[in-house]
Amino acid sequence: MTPLMYDILVAVGMGLLGAVLFSAIGLISGTDETTTIAPVTLLVVLLGVPPAGVFTFWLAAAVSKHMTHAVPTALLGIPGDTLAVPLMPQATSLRNLGVPHIALRKMISGAIIAAFLSVPLAVLFAVLLAPFGPAITSAAPWIFLAAALGVAYFSPGRWASVAALIPFVLLIVGLQTVTKGYGVSLGVSYFLGIAIGPLVADLFAILSPLDRKRMMRNAPRSFVLAPDVKSWGGHFPNPFRVLDRSQTGWTLVTATISSATFVFSPVAMTVMLGEVVGARIKHAYHRLTSVLAARNGVTEATYVAEALIPLIAFGLPLSPVAAGPAAPLFNAPPVFTINNATGEIHNLHTLMSPLEFLGYGLLAVLLAGLIAYPFAMNYARSAAAFVSRNLSHEAIIATFVGLVLVIGTWEGGALALMVIVTVGLVGGTLYRTLGLNTGVQFMGYYAAVLSVPTIAKLVTGG
Amino acid sequence: MEHRLSDPPAAPGIGAKQYAEVWGDTVDLKDLGKAVVIGGVIALACYLIAGRILLGYAPTAQIARTYAMLFGLLGCVGAGALCARLFAPKRDLSEAELDDSWRDETLAALAEGGRFGRTEDLPPAVQAEMKELGLYDTFVRYEAVLRQAEAKNP
């Protein structure tokens, strides 16, 4: 077997695994992309899967989860994850009109069209930006500092988030110094601590008699599952027939725009471009369905572009998605590394060519399209009912507690576990009280690792 | 369960579920406590035991540790499956039929911005889609109501 054939086989296998696994995870409402995709991808990297397999796994997982998270959003009226929040008003209106399945179908048809479009566009933009790569890489410490401040200002916390970056970065620098004193150097533990922060903070809060009151509820949460109607023959619905011509057009236009703007947050782009489309459609029903298709296409395209462009062009995680859910593609020591002293990069950026990114990227979208798309179109209702009836939230929390303990112990024993809990508690609390979200915290981590040594050198003159 | 003197007297509601919203969904505090212990113990045990056993077989300690992590992750999933069997979801799922009042409220909310549009101006494909969904008549009727209201208060 030639090396290329072997790579393709591995990529197909890993892509299928990612698509199946994350089609299922997407059905569980409230599972954040960062908390689920990042740790599992990290595991795939650390187990020594070849680069093409890692990349196909990640993209197939991200696209699949993005499709199936539309199921709870449309049918149960709860956002599948943070990216689905801007779609709630339209989805809820269609649900109340008695046609939630239409909301679902418009959303995921927009998503699959946008996903196919955004991969080649992202590769194209990355190739155009690549000549600036060396300049950007050498200025990385300053770019990350600026990015951290910018992302913080655009987070829900605004100036509070900007100001809170200082203690947060200092905390990470301090923890690194402490663990270094014991000869332990940690990377993954910080990511996990930030990603899992909201859970850690909630578990601490529930232990405190003072804060517990805020979280107590009188009754279980109630959901109304909407009825579903299948309106096509066969198994594989054609997305171009689910959307009408103007909706396909709007999806293509907005997805193209959002593919180019890789530095902004996907949520912000989704809200803004959704407004642009909504303002141009006169009829109320047509507006609802068109905005849903376009918005979900935008979240998909922004997501793909935000991961692919920095990965292909720079090898540095210079966007909210790249620093969050896609972080293990850039930095997963000891396999993928970004050396903060020399600026040397060893990750998918150096291991794969733009042409390979294009080929495996399209393969990943195809696999996700073959699995998640017909699954969400055909079995949405029974899947949503099964998950909400059989999978308790306690079970999900148990799984994540186990994950933290295993990965922490693996990376640095008890010391790493303490770091995860510290970062998680501080980060999670800052998220809840100030609105310093996980994206800002990831940028803060990079600022601590890359910018702080440079600034320190400048200040001390060393 | 052991009864202690310090326990408050039995009252209605004792042993009742203590619902709380943790990480975006409702849980029962007792079940949550058990789930955290089960998840932690099973996952960590799988990781540590697999690490011990694999150390004898794997070519290097590094590889042994990485595969031990895979077993640890399987332990996480196993613990999750066990907890899913042990603890029922705290969700109240109903499959209610559509409430007509919601439909009217939604139409009113859509009309609020003053941009409701005219169904007859839509492309034929969209009109056909609305007919299939049974929304065509609903919208046309509501547009007539809006036009009447407009005629009354210009």
Cβ contacts of A407 on chain B, cutoff 8 Å? 69, 72
Expressed in percent and rounded to 5, the helix, strand and coil fractions of chain B are 60, 10, 30
- Total structural domains in chain B? 2
The owner of tokens 């949503």 is: A384
User: Pick from B60, B86, B112: which residue ends a domain?
Assistant: B86
Contacts of B6 (CB under 8 A, 6+ apart): none
Quick one: average pLDDT of A46-57? 93
Burial class (CB in 10 A: 0-12, 13-18, 19+), A453: middle
Q: Are residues B70 and B121 in the same domain?
A: no
Quick one: average pLDDT of A78-93? 82
> Is B9 a domain residue?
yes
Contacts of B99 (CB under 8 A, 6+ apart): none
User: What DSSP letter does each residue of A139-156 carry, written as one string?
Assistant: THHHHHHHHHHHHHHTST
> Is B92 a domain residue?
no
Cβ contacts of B49 on chain A, cutoff 8 Å? none
Asked if A317 contacts A446 with a C-beta cutoff of 8 angstroms, the reply is yes
Asked if A338 contacts A122 with a C-beta cutoff of 8 angstroms, the reply is no
Q: Are residues B56 and B130 in the same domain?
A: no
Q: How many residues does chain B have?
A: 154
Q: Are residues B29 and B69 in the same domain?
A: yes
Q: Are residues B82 and B8 in the same domain?
A: yes
Q: Are residues B63 and B135 in the same domain?
A: no
Kindly list the distances between the CA atom of residue B148 and the CA atoms of B98, B108, B141, B142, B153, in Å, as whole numbers in the listed order: 27, 14, 11, 10, 9
| Structure ipTM | 0.80
Flag if A244 and B130 touch (Cβ within 8 Å).
no
> Is B95 a domain residue?
no
Q: Which of A394, A399, A410 to mutate to test the interface with B (most CBs of B within 10 A)?
A: A394
Peptide bond into A334 cis (omega under 30): yes
Quick one: what percent of chain A has pLDDT higher than 70? 96
Give pLDDT, residue B12. Answer: 43
Q: Are residues B61 and B127 in the same domain?
A: no
Burial class (CB in 10 A: 0-12, 13-18, 19+), A161: buried
Q: Which residue of B has its CA nearest to A102?
A: B133
User: Pick from B54, B86, B118: which residue ends a domain?
Assistant: B86
**Per-residue confidence band for A345, with pLDDT thresholds at 50, 70 and 90:** confident
Q: Are residues B82 and B105 in the same domain?
A: no
Checking if the pLDDT of B4 tops 50, the result is: no
Residue A377 to chain B, least CA–CA distance (Å): 16
Checking if the pLDDT of A244 tops 50, the result is: yes
Q: Are residues B23 and B51 in the same domain?
A: yes
pLDDT tens across A438-462, in order?
Answer: 878 988 988 898 889 888 888 887 5
The model's pTM is 0.82
Cβ contacts of B25 on chain A, cutoff 8 Å? 29-30, 221, 393, 396
Share the mean pLDDT of chain A.
Answer: 88
d(CA A249, CA A294): 9
Longest alpha-carbon distance in chain A: 72
Kindly list the distances between the CA atom of residue A334 and the CA atoms of A62, A136, A188, A441, B69, in Å, as whole numbers in the listed order: 24, 24, 10, 22, 15
Cβ contacts of B93 on chain A, cutoff 8 Å? 222-225, 385, 388-389
Flag if A99 and B92 touch (Cβ within 8 Å).
no
Cβ contacts of A405 on chain B, cutoff 8 Å? 40, 43-44, 47
Identify the domain containing residue B73 by its residue range: 3-86
Q: Are residues B31 and B81 in the same domain?
A: yes
Return the structure tokens found at A259. Answer: 């593919």
Interface size, chain A vs chain B, as Cβ–Cβ contacts under 8 Å: 236
Flag if A224 and B96 touch (Cβ within 8 Å).
yes
> Is B152 a domain residue?
no
Quick one: average pLDDT of A163-183? 95
> Is B96 a domain residue?
no
AA identity, residue A229 = V
> Is B153 a domain residue?
no
Q: Are residues B25 and B70 in the same domain?
A: yes
> Is B154 a domain residue?
no
For residue A397, give the nearest of B35, B44, B81 by CB distance.
B35
pLDDT tens across A2-19, in order?
Answer: 889 999 999 999 999 999
> Is B93 a domain residue?
no
Higher pLDDT, B4 or A53: A53
Give pLDDT, residue A227. Answer: 65
Checking if the pLDDT of A136 tops 60, the result is: yes
d(CA A430, CA A388): 30
Give pLDDT, residue B8. Answer: 44
For residue A199, give the nearest of B23, B88, B132 by CB distance.
B23
Q: Are residues B51 and B14 in the same domain?
A: yes
Give the bridge partners for A337, in sequence order. Answer: A346
Q: Are residues B67 and B115 in the same domain?
A: no
